[in-house]
Structure 1
Amino acid sequence: MDGINNAPGKITDLMKTTPAHPSFNTMNQAPHCWQRYNEWVVCLKQTSGDEEKCQPMRGLARGICPDDWVEKWDEERPKGIFMGVQYPEMPRPWVKKDAHH
């Protein structure tokens, strides 16, 4: 086992926990998780879907979010039912584009 633990590029070198954020200093980390996941989607939008460039942000989201949340959001995004940042742009029939307030 020591050979694995001391090998360069070992799994624990690749995994990082998301840094603390002063806006989310309470015990409930759900808002921080939501923010990190949406920051990853924004990165995808800004890089035309370059997942390699956005991998660090994906890792931060995965480091704080429960796996089942990430899987759920990953499934919702292509269906256009994810309530966060949209990429690729998906139709959202509940949003009225011509509505004036």
Structure 2
Amino acid sequence: MSELIEEKIKNYRTAPFDARFPNTNQTRNCFRNYLDFHRCNNALSDKGQDVVPCNWYQRVYKSLCPMSWVQKWDDQIDSGRFAGNI
């Protein structure tokens, strides 16, 4: 299964269509993928498993989100002020 995920990540170009966010405003899609990346990373790290599958969420949020938002959220996580539930 890991090979399949690695193959998808390797062929990744831009964020795929997500039926949960059908409208053109992709702000929620951006934020959800950011949260999913950190949740996935934390869950797999706690279990001692490989976090490679989490890279998918990271690539999606990096293609959707303005980098200024990501930097702001990263700073908030580092200082313990992030509003999202990770």
Query: With structure 1 as the length reference, what TM-score do the two structures score?
Result: 0.62
- Give the gaps of 5 or more residues in structure 1: 1-12, 87-101
Whichever residue aligns with residue 59 of structure 2, its letter is G
Q: Match for residue 70 of structure 1?
A: 70
- RMSD, aligned α-carbons: 2.2
Identity %: 27
Aligned pair count reads: 74
Q: 1:78 and 1:34 mapped to 2: Cα distance? A: 17
Query: With structure 2 as the length reference, what TM-score do the two structures score?
Result: 0.72
1:60-91 Cα shifts (integer Å, max 9, x gaps): 110111111111111111111111133xxxxx
Higher Cα radius of gyration? 1
- Give the gaps of 5 or more residues in structure 2: 1-9
CA gap 1:35/1:72 in 2 versus in 1, 3 angstroms: same
Structure 1: 4+ residue segments shifted above 2 A: 13-16, 49-52
Larger helix fraction of residues: 2
